Amino acid sequence: MAEHQDFGRWGEYTAAEWLEANGFVILHQNWRMGKLEIDLIAVKNKYLHVIEVKTRHGNRYGWPEESISVKKFRHLQMAAGVFIRAHPQYKWLRYDLLSITRFPDGSVNFFFREDIYFSR
């Protein structure tokens, strides 16, 4: 497996641990339906959280959260729509972004943005 894939998996595993430590219940990791994909699906309080995870080594080329685009957000919305139609018991939905930066000294920075929305 390529190093960037290993790092991405580390990021999603680390994100799930961080979310659980902050009161979220993880329902799915890497949920897929055809070409649609959601990194993490979790529940907290009455909300279903569709969470995009972005991970980087340091911030030399910008912070991970800066790499999410309108196109990626639209893709996330389509995937969430498919998930919600299959699981209609969830009435409240939020799109979240969890950015993880691992620095060369081994320290890790988490940036969580809840209830995001992108528009043109």
Q: What is the pLDDT of residues 1-56, one digit of tens each?
A: 566 567 668 888 999 999 999 999 999 999 999 999 999 999 999 999 999 998 88
Q: Does 28 fall in a domain?
A: yes
- pTM score, two decimals? 0.87
Expressed as residue numbers, the domain containing 63 is 3-69+93-113
State the Cα–Cα distance between residues 40 and 44, nearest whole angstrom: 13
Query: What CATH number should be reported for the domain holding residue 19?
Result: 3.40.1350
- Helix (H) or strand (E) holding 25, with range, is strand 25-33
Q: Does 53 fall in a domain?
A: yes
At a CB cut-off of 8 Å and minimum separation 6, what does 88 contact? Answer: none
